[in-house]
Amino acid sequence: MNRKLSISLFIFAGFFVFAQCKKQEEITNDSHTIVQDLSFTDSEKAIIFNNSIDSAYRIMNYFVYADSIVLRKQSRNVDFSDTSTLFYLTDRLHVTVIKGGGIGIAAPQVGINRNIIWVQRYDKGSIASHPWELYLNPVITKYSDTLKLRNDGCLSIPGVSGQSWRAIWVNVEYDLPNGTHKSEHISQEYTAHIFQHEIDHLNGILFIDRLKI
Ligand SMILES: [Zn+2]
């Protein structure tokens, strides 16, 4: 076997191994998605229905050890097979953020590690009434390269205000309550900041983690 041929064979074999690994990863990911049971657990339902639909939940406090564990957990997606439980949760989550005086909230902040956020849309409506919108399974698909240090705070870190580095715009994808999947470019800095803060919560990240780039 000459040197050139053996190098070619080596490269070909390397590519083959790479291709096999990639295929296996995809299969693993696919089967993981298929087998993942997204129905609400009994312990989640116990929290969701622990009071009337018009009452606020207790907000997780970062300075309480058990709460901090919940706030640091990775959240899971919701599905639409149990909308009565889902919308009971989202209604109460909205009551909670209004009563708490926030401009956004994420489900982990009330003890439910699910990908659900409410955002007050400062880029919509009037100064008197910026609408509140609910996003299910939201993800940020792109961040601006430019970052700014912005004032920040969190209902789950009471009494603490600080700053965090934030992208000035983001692209997001999410499901609407009717199940429609949407992509959106959020160009207004303040609204983009709220999306980043709330979606961070779904990944166990708090604004105090964003003080350094
Ligand atoms: Zn927060």
How many angstroms does the Cα of residue 179 sit away from the middle of ligand 1? Answer: 25
Over range 6-17, report the average pLDDT: 40
What pLDDT does residue 31 have? 53
Look at residues 205, 184, 81, 208 and name the one whose alpha carbon lies nearest to residue 135: 184
Q: Model confidence at 19, in pLDDT bands (50, 70, 90)?
A: very low
**Residue found by looking up tokens 């949760």 in the block:** 89
Tens digits of residue pLDDT in 68-114 = 999 999 999 998 999 999 999 999 999 999 999 999 999 999 999 99
How many angstroms does the Cα of residue 152 sit away from the middle of ligand 1? Answer: 9
Q: What is the set of active-site residues?
A: 198
Q: Which CATH superfamily is domain 39-210 in?
A: Peptide deformylase (3.90.45.10)
Over range 55-62, report the average pLDDT: 98
How many angstroms does the Cα of residue 158 sit away from the middle of ligand 1? Answer: 10
How many angstroms does the Cα of residue 82 sit away from the middle of ligand 1? Answer: 26
How many angstroms does the Cα of residue 197 sit away from the middle of ligand 1? Answer: 6
- Asked if 117 contacts 198 with a C-beta cutoff of 8 angstroms, the reply is yes
Look at residues 136, 128, 56 and name the one whose alpha carbon lies nearest to residue 94: 56
Share of the chain above pLDDT 70, in %: 83
- Asked if 18 contacts 11 with a C-beta cutoff of 8 angstroms, the reply is no
d(CA 172, CA 140): 4
Asked which of 8-17, 85-94, 108-117, 168-177 is least confident by mean pLDDT, the reply is 8-17
- Asked if 195 contacts 166 with a C-beta cutoff of 8 angstroms, the reply is no
Residue 21 pLDDT > 60, yes or no?
Answer: no
What CA–CA distances, in Å, run from 55 to 49, 88, 89, 101, 213? 10, 11, 11, 15, 38
User: Is-above-0.85 flag for pTM?
Assistant: no
Domain ranges of the chain: 1-36, 39-210
Over range 186-197, report the average pLDDT: 98
